[in-house]
Amino acid sequence: MAKAHTRRAAGAEDAGAAPEAARPGGAPRVMPGADQTDRAALTALPDRADQTDRAALEHLDRLPAVRECGEILVIDDVTGALTATGLETGRVVAWQTSRRAAEALAERFPQAIEAGRLVVAGLDPVGPVPLEEVAWASTAETALVRLPKALLALDHRARALARAAAARDIGFSLLASGRVKHMTRRQNEVLAAAFTQVEAQRGVGKSRALLATGPRKDLEQPPVMAGQAQVTVRGAAETIPLCGVGGVFGGAAADAGSLLLLASLDEVVRGGELDAVETAGDLGCGNGLLTAYLLRALPQARVVAADDDADAIDSTGRTLESVWRPEFRDRVELRWEPSFRGVPDQSLDLVLLNPPFHDGPGVDPTLVQGLLDAAARVLRPGGRLWMVHNSHLRYRPEVERRVGPVRQRVRDRRFTVLEAVSRPGPAAQR
């Protein structure tokens, strides 16, 4: 990302390619998740604009650059309506944080992709692509953005777009919409750090858009958060530096549940019980803490780390770079994909999982179920799943049913760590 930007003549098709130098850390291979096996599980996009889309679209006509330049950027389009509107008048370059959402968009508009009128960044050939690269390669002077939940994610998107616009020496408008109940003054301030003017627009129902114009010059790159984790690796105290980008879970902080899992796992590693592990996986790698531990603690093992979230892949890449040792380079594979989709069945000896339990304020058990099924599928018979969950949730029967016999390794007031041994037979028949 430190690459100097000069305006290119190339079209926005190039936005889909991830230049080697742009990938986090440069070194870990980022695989595309090409396997199509769980197509049916992809998020289907609803057919029509929701209120939050309409809060942005209502003001689109006021932006002359949209009509004149014929191309817009669309960031985190969750319904497809922003893209559909952009395609009515021209070309769209879309950037989605979630790989599933990126694929859902591509599935919704195959003809536009075929005709070169829609580019979904990162899908072809290998993603994710930094947003700044995408914005810089596009001719668009407007971005429609679904406001992210995390302020740090908004800061990341706003700075990336403003920096690209400043490098292209153009005016640029960012129209970001969200539900009023989730909007705060801090969002205006974050946008105002990257743009000279920020105005709230008239609301539509319970949603509203913020219009940011005038990208600031000489902006710093989006910040990379820095933190660290104190762990024991084969009994010896070690510090693992962590990096966090945008809206990655936990930023650059070590999650307390993951630390409990690692403390318990390290006793088993030290006892030699995992010496035969040749392949290990970190399912939902976030900022890369568990992956970094696996690389250090199991010198004989190959490690695959995957996350559906582009910020997580960026963060894990940077964390691995900071714990880099030459011998790690060929042992790790980083995948932007949901649920280990491209990882072959029964190919891993060990999977670590710290799954999400909440979708918004409520507990959503289906989030864990899909990840348990993914773990069961990729584990070889006899392979082990180590999972941490909040102690007040009862996941043991679910893990037992979907993966195999369970043993509770440790439990404290907040977290419980379970180990399950994968049963023989196809995961679907368990």
The residues binding ligand SAM (CB under 6 A) are 249-250, 255, 258, 284-287, 289-290, 306-309, 312, 338-339, 354-356, 370-371
Residue 160 or 290: the one with the smaller Cβ distance to ligand SAM is 290
Nearest residue (CB) to ligand SAM, 123 versus 209: 123
Q: Toward ligand SAM, which CB reaches closer, 118 or 374?
A: 374
- Amino acid identity at 233: V
Q: Do residues 58 and 204 lie in contact, with contact meaning Cβ atoms separated by under 8 Å?
A: yes
User: Nearer Cβ to ligand SAM, position 312 or 406?
Assistant: 312
Alpha-carbon distance of 269 to 406, in angstroms, equals 18
Q: Which residue has the tokens 């100097």?
A: 4
Least distance (Å) between residue 262 CB and ligand SAM: 9
The gap between the terminal CA atoms of the chain, to the nearest Å, is 45
Please identify which residue in the block is written with the tokens 């440069």.
26
Antiparallel, parallel or unpaired: β 224-233 and 302-307: unpaired
The distance of closest approach from Cβ of residue 292 to ligand SAM in the complex, given in angstroms and rounded to an integer, is: 10
Residue 342 Cβ vs ligand SAM, minimum distance, rounded to whole Å: 11
Q: 36 near 100, Cβ under 8 Å?
A: no
Cα dihedral 365/368/372/374 (nearest 10): 120
DSSP 126-174: S----HHHHHHHS--SEEEEEPPSSHHHHHHHHHHHHHHHHHHT---EE
H or E segment at 210?
strand 207-215
CB of 134 to ligand SAM, least distance (A): 20
Quote the least distance from Cβ 57 to ligand SAM, whole Å: 28
Find, among 282, 409, 275, the residue nearest to 355 by Cα. Answer: 282
Separation of alpha carbons 358 and 63, rounded Å: 37
Q: Give the residue carrying structure tokens 């909040």.
A: 390
Distance CA 383, CA 367 (A): 22
Closer to ligand SAM at the Cβ: 207 or 354?
A: 354
- 103 vs 255, beta carbon nearer ligand SAM: 255
Comparing CB distances to ligand SAM, the nearer of 183 and 260 is: 260
When the beta carbons of 307 and 349 are compared against ligand SAM, the nearer one is 307
Q: Which amino acid is at 98?
A: S
Rounded to a whole number of angstroms, the minimum distance from the CB of residue 347 to ligand SAM is 17
CB of 112 to ligand SAM, least distance (A): 27
Q: For residues 287 and 416, which CB has a smaller minimum distance to ligand SAM in the complex?
A: 287
Contact (Cβ atoms closer than 8 angstroms) between residue 122 and residue 33: no
Name which of 162 and 262 has its Cβ closer to ligand SAM.
Answer: 262
Smallest gap from Cβ 338 to ligand SAM, in A, equals: 4
Minimal distance, residue 295 CB to ligand SAM, in Å: 14
Give the torsion through C-alpha atoms of 411, 294, 24, 28, to 10 deg. -150
The contacts of residue 123 (CB under 8 Å, 6+ apart) are 16, 32, 102, 103, 106
372 C-beta neighbours (distance < 10 Å), count: 25
Shortest separation between residue 100's beta carbon and ligand SAM, angstroms:
7
